[in-house]
Amino acid sequence: MTVREWELRQSRFAIVNIKTTGLTPGYDRICEIAVVVAEPGDALRLALDTIVDPERALAGAEVHGIKNDHARSSPTFDEVGIDLLRALQGRILVSHNLGYLRRFLWVEFNRLGIPIDIPCVDTMTLTSMLTRKTNQPLFEACEAMGFEAQLSPFAAAGALDTAKLLRALTARLTRMGLTSVGQLRGKQRHAFQQTLSFEPLPKGLCYGLDESIIRRSRQNGNAPPSNVNMALALYWEALLVALDDMVITEQERRHLLALQRELELTGDAVYMLHARMFAGSLVAMIDRNACTEEDREHLSSLRLCLSTLGWSPGDEPSPPTLDQAADTLNADRPPTP
């Protein structure tokens, strides 16, 4: 039986969530990873949860809460890769915002010489199929499906929330008559659909990776507590989702401006996060000592997107205030009859 023929509610899933040092795969690295295993009829099980040493300097502690000294005493991806492979064996990989995860995960596996062609499912896409709202960050997708996310910066919390979201989605899709994995397409062909022609990793395949006994879980207290501004973390997550295709639609623009106000982000906070996002791309380019046409197009698109959301490098020095963001929204809103 192929993966497409698997019964949706009887399928085996590995839900993966990561935190990264930035936005550029290959330059930026994974700095925390968690995997939740979902088996038919069983309770969700946390199979992997650890900070990962990215073997480079970290930034953005106010968003993800991981500091350099936390990371340096944690295992590298090479050392946790075997646990990840074991969790993926015989299962479909699941993530919220799958494109972002795959870009980072595939770079890490390619660096180790491990070919990874496995079936994948994106809960963000499945949520869009049911709600008709595109690119919802995890905390909003959970709310749309009737429960509250944990609102924690920990990768494990995100993996568990995604697993709960997956179960809520598959229950609703089954009631709608979509009973097999191969039917997860809606009216459009989604990017993850092409991966469903692959088979899961076979059991016992570890590619000679060595195992480390060191794990640094923030969920169980083995790592220092995080000092994270959750408003910044939630807006950052929403930014990552919206910027995945480097195009800000009108719906996304209005949503993110409203989110800035809902989270009570100051103009300085918006300025700082947008500047961090742009600087991360610049630093990656400088580190390669090269600037290709693709780099220039990326920076141009990123600058335009960030400017649309309130501020980007090259705009007026002062970032917008909350009142100015509200005025922008109200100016675009049609008058009440």
Determine the pLDDT at residue 65: 86
Same domain, 250 and 167: no
Structural domain count, the chain: 2
Determine the pLDDT at residue 76: 93
pLDDT tens sequence across 207-230: 777 766 677 787 665 555 556 789
Same domain, 81 and 180: yes
Q: Per the domain annotation, does 105 fall within a domain?
A: yes
**Domain interval for residue 95:** 3-197
Determine the pLDDT at residue 57: 84
Determine the pLDDT at residue 322: 47
The Cα–Cα gap between 264 and 298 comes to: 29
Q: Answer whether residue 43 shows pLDDT above 60.
A: yes
Of 146, 137, 184, the residue nearest 164 (C-alpha):
146
Q: Which of 7-16, 221-230, 246-255 has the lowest mean pLDDT?
A: 221-230
Radius of gyration for the alpha carbons in the chain, expressed in angstroms and rounded: 20
Q: Which of 181, 197, 213 represents a domain boundary (last residue)?
A: 197
pLDDT tens sequence across 132-164: 888 899 999 999 999 999 988 899 999 999 999
Of 167, 128, 129, the residue nearest 147 (C-alpha):
167
Determine the pLDDT at residue 283: 84
Q: Per the domain annotation, does 94 fall within a domain?
A: yes
Q: Which of 178, 197, 216 represents a domain boundary (last residue)?
A: 197
Same domain, 45 and 175: yes
In whole numbers, what is the pLDDT of the chain averaged over residues? 87
Q: Which of 166, 197, 228 represents a domain boundary (last residue)?
A: 197
The Cα–Cα gap between 174 and 224 comes to: 42
Q: Answer whether residue 335 shows pLDDT above 80.
A: no
Complete DSSP assignment for 182-204? GGTTTTS--GGGGGGGSPPPPTT
